[in-house]
Amino acid sequence: MKIIYLAILTLAIVLLSGCIQQEKGSTVVPNTTNPMTSNDEIKGLPKQTNAAQPPPSSQIDYSHEYPASAANVNGFEMKKTGSGFIVYYHPGDETNANKVLAVLEQGGLNLYKKYLGFEPKDMPVYMAASVDEYVKIADFPGGKENVAVGDGSAPNGKIYLYKPFGETIAGKTGGVIIHEGVHAAAYRFFGQDKIRYLPGFLNEGMAHYLEYIFKAGSGFDPLDLIYHSDLLINGVKTGNPKLLGLEELAQKCDGYISDDILNFLCRGQGTYTVWYIKETYGEEVLGKFLMNLKQTQNWQNALNNATGKTTSQLEQEIQDNLKSRVG
């Protein structure tokens, strides 16, 4: 009886926390003619839309050697320590551990500081060597059948990776690492109690946004890069699927979303929202919003304080902007 109670309590806490940012979708194959797009995080390396600014992914020096030392954490025997992150791994994974840390230290730290206004300290990153280990340590609710090589998640301010750099999709792991790093950094910035005030669609939107900047540079075209942007385009042109307003996005996009269309809308519209706000209100607007949200604990007020616009004004602006881009 006690065990059942504990299980229900644990489930309730997990659900209520609203911070399970598992990257599902790796088994979703919406376009069977092109297996390269079978993961919702990754489209391979996109075309560069701003030649003046090379993407951070092209700047990573993987030959930089980070020091290794013995560890004894969660069954991991080794660690590599940088200034913001500590990567835990098993013996034999040292080369990939070094690559993971290179992405975070050389790419992640700068991106998080520049666009979110804060950077993590001592953030743990765990490199699981098997699906069983990944599902167990990451407490992954999607089950083993929904995990693919190169996947990641960040449910509690820590990053969990399954066989990073073991995938065959070019550029997948780098994007996943930057993406999960956003979730983990946001969790640590707000803390366990306050992370729930950050709406899921904005959390996902920020994670995808920085993932795309990492891969393509800051001048990327959102309708080129947003995974399943066809849904946004069809939504504008035909009304199907019906695009969601900001309040609806905040209500419907939380936790683990099993409905594919809703999942893609939450991520796609979330990314478009973040992209639009940053393009229109400047590089520091996301940092202002996050800092304000931590104080006010109200995302509508925080958006208003950061942009000077009400939620409905912003919603209208974003709709109009999307319409004009779709043409």
User: Shortest approach of Zn ion to residue 34 CB, angstroms?
Assistant: 22
User: Shortest approach of Zn ion to residue 181 CB, angstroms?
Assistant: 10
Of 13-21, 112-120, 235-243, 253-261, the window that binds Zn ion (rule: CB under 5 A) is: 13-21
Nearer to Zn ion, 37 or 307 (CB): 37
What is the Cα–Cα distance from 41 to 151, expressed in whole angstroms? Answer: 9
For residue 72, which amino acid is it? Answer: N
Nearer to Zn ion, 207 or 232 (CB): 207
User: Shortest approach of Zn ion to residue 24 CB, angstroms?
Assistant: 9
What is the Cα–Cα distance from 76 to 69, expressed in whole angstroms? Answer: 11
Nearer to Zn ion, 22 or 98 (CB): 22
Nearer to Zn ion, 236 or 262 (CB): 262
Nearer to Zn ion, 119 or 204 (CB): 204
What is the Cα–Cα distance from 85 to 168, expressed in whole angstroms? Answer: 26
Nearer to Zn ion, 127 or 184 (CB): 184
Nearer to Zn ion, 78 or 232 (CB): 232
Site for Zn ion in 50-69 (CB under 5 A): none
Nearer to Zn ion, 20 or 78 (CB): 20
- Contact mark string toward Zn ion, 109..138, x via CB under 5 A: ------------------------------
Question: How many residues of this chain interact with Zn ion, rule: CB under 5 A?
Answer: 3
Q: Is 314 in the site for Zn ion (CB under 5 A)?
A: no
User: Shortest approach of Zn ion to residue 154 CB, angstroms?
Assistant: 8
Site for Zn ion in 161-220 (CB under 5 A): 204, 207
User: Shortest approach of Zn ion to residue 75 CB, angstroms?
Assistant: 25
Given candidates 19, 20, 21, 216, which one binds Zn ion under the rule CB under 5 A?
A: 21
Q: HEC string of the chain?
A: CHHHHHHHHHHHHHHHHCCCCCCCCCCCCCCCCCHHHCCCCCCCCCCCCCCCCCCHHHHCCCCCCCCEEEEEECCEEEEEECCCEEEEECCCCHHHHHHHHHHHHHHHHHHHHHHHCCCCCCEEEEEECCHHHHHHHHCCCCCHHHCCCCCEECCCCCEEEECCCCCCCCCHHHHHHHHHHHHHHHHHHHCCCCHHHCCHHHHHHHHHHHHHHHHHCCCCCHHHHCCCHHHHHHHHHHCCCCCCCHHHHHHHCCCCCCCHHHHHHHHHHHHHHHHHHHHHHCCCHHHHHHHHHHHHCCHHHHHHHHHCCCHHHHHHHHHHHHHHHHC
Of 14-22, 132-140, 236-244, 253-261, the window that binds Zn ion (rule: CB under 5 A) is: 14-22
User: Shortest approach of Zn ion to residue 64 CB, angstroms?
Assistant: 27
User: Shortest approach of Zn ion to residue 23 CB, angstroms?
Assistant: 5
User: Shortest approach of Zn ion to residue 21 CB, angstroms?
Assistant: 4
Nearer to Zn ion, 25 or 56 (CB): 25
- Angle separating helix axes 285-296 and 299-307, nearest 10 degrees: 140
Dihedral over Cα of 248, 208, 101, 128: its sign:
positive
- Contact mark string toward Zn ion, 282..301, x via CB under 5 A: --------------------
Gyration radius of the chain over CA positions: 19
User: Shortest approach of Zn ion to residue 294 CB, angstroms?
Assistant: 20
* Interface residues toward Zn ion, by CB under 5 A: 21, 204, 207
